[in-house]
Amino acid sequence: MHGARIGPNALTQLIEPIERRYGHDMVARLLEQSGIQRLPDMTGLIDEDPVIAMHHHMIRTLPDMADDISREAGARTGAYIIANRIPGFAQGLLRILPAALSARLLAKAIAKNAWTFAGSGKFAVQSWWPLVFTLEDNPFAKGLRTYAPACHWHAAVFETLFRELVSPHIRVTETTCCAAGDPRCTFVVRT
């Protein structure tokens, strides 16, 4: 019996940035602390609990670089999604449509596939202008206590998708965060 499930990129895309900065031994240590014996084969969803544990152990063990590692892993996840999960014709269409329409279509696709990155959390498009996403009960934020928004992985995934497929000028900012005591994580998409 498994708990909530999440896409394997939430785990696998953390490995390279950690290994490049701290070496294989640090990756092995964090995987062991998280109860992960082997990396997933990328063919299906995986249990969210060890993935969240990996993110949390990385944040606690490497506090000075955790934000940068999370951002890089999120950007790598967004690039993987573009390369492997969004058909070429859909990418082409998003790139040639007016940005407002393209952003709306991409937001709908993200909402439809939220189960791949939200795990047990509840994702919603809060507003269309400005484009705002919310993630209630974000498992990445549970158990963390911060003074500022801390979901850099999610923000980087969204920003990569929108910058590559809608406009290179788009920025995604997390404005509220469950880890900082807010009721939900809120991501604002702006040009």
pLDDT tens per residue, range 65-113: 999 999 999 999 999 999 999 999 999 999 999 999 999 999 999 999 9
pLDDT of residue 21: 97
Whether this prediction's pTM lies above 0.85 is answered by yes
Please report, for the domain that includes residue 29, its CATH number: 3.90.1520.10
Instruction: Provide the token pair at 67.
Output: 């934000």
Mean of the pLDDT values across residues 21-47?
A: 95
Residue 130 confidence (pLDDT) above 60: yes
Q: Band of the pLDDT at 42, cuts 50, 70, 90?
A: confident
Instruction: Provide the token pair at 184.
Output: 């939900």
* Helices 99-112, 152-165: crossing angle, 10 deg rounding: 140
Residue 185 confidence (pLDDT) above 60: yes
How many structural domains compose the chain? 1
55 lies in which domain range? 5-190
Q: Band of the pLDDT at 3, cuts 50, 70, 90?
A: confident
